[in-house]
Amino acid sequence: MNSIKLNNQNIKSSKIVCIGRNYIEHIKELDNDTPDEMVFFIKPNSSISQEIVFPKGHKSCHYEAEISFLIEEEKISAVGFGLDLTLREVQSKLKAKGLPWERAKSFDNSAVFSDFVPFNDTVDSLEVELYINDELKQKGGVELMIHKPDAIIQEFQSFASFEDGDILMTGTPKGVGEFQIGDKFLGKILYKNEVLVQKEFIVKSSH
């Protein structure tokens, strides 16, 4: 099983619970409709990675930076930086046909994470930042989310369960786009403007 890191220990996650369309400006930039209820999708354990690998056989892939939480005993225990890698062209074709998104969202190495750090404060002051080749591409926080993390957890629990070690990805702010092999990513999670966790990635080829 693939794993994430918390305090230098490997934590195995059975799944990643993701929420789509949770920032208004991101909904606008992709010209999507604002959903009436939370949009959930799942990434499997096989999608977890600690490095960015450009998906094999594709010419285009999008980054989506997200505040990500480790769930233990059905509540937040730690926070980390996450990337929801998305095959946007594939997703658009699937959406147009009313089909599920797994081909575009759940491929191997499509959920990239920093290490996680313990977190038991209020989540309201958390922010995510993403720099690519030293340029700020995405910045947003819990205050901009349509659905806050505690509400997302509660809604998910209305139809499914979190297992210890599962990860919650809370949606992406505006600024998503394409990236290339060799790009340098720097992801940060901030709490009250102080950096809690950060990680640098260099995009690798799948070969």
Domain of residue 64, residue span: 3-202
Q: How many residues in total does the chain contain?
A: 207
Q: Which of 190, 78, 83 is nearest to 142 (CA)?
A: 190
Q: Kindly report the CATH number assigned to the domain that includes residue 179.
A: 3.90.850.10
Q: Let me know if residue 113 belongs to a domain.
A: yes
CA distance 188 to 180: 20
- Going by pLDDT thresholds of 50, 70 and 90, the confidence category of residue 143 is very high
pLDDT at 207 over 80: no
Give the contacts of 4 (CB within 8 A, at least 6 positions apart): 10, 11, 13, 48, 50, 70, 80, 113, 115, 116, 167
Q: Which of 20-24, 64-68, 159-163 is predicted with the least confidence, judged by mean pLDDT? A: 20-24
Q: Let me know if residue 207 belongs to a domain.
A: no
Query: What is the tens place of the pLDDT at every residue in 14-24?
Result: 999 999 899 98
pLDDT at 145 over 80: yes
Q: Let me know if residue 193 belongs to a domain.
A: yes
Q: Let me know if residue 182 belongs to a domain.
A: yes
| pTM of the entire predicted model | 0.96
Query: What is the tens place of the pLDDT at every residue in 106-137?
Result: 999 999 999 999 999 999 999 999 999 999 99
Q: Return the pLDDT at 63.
A: 98
Q: Are strands 135-141 and 126-132 parallel, antiparallel or unpaired?
A: antiparallel
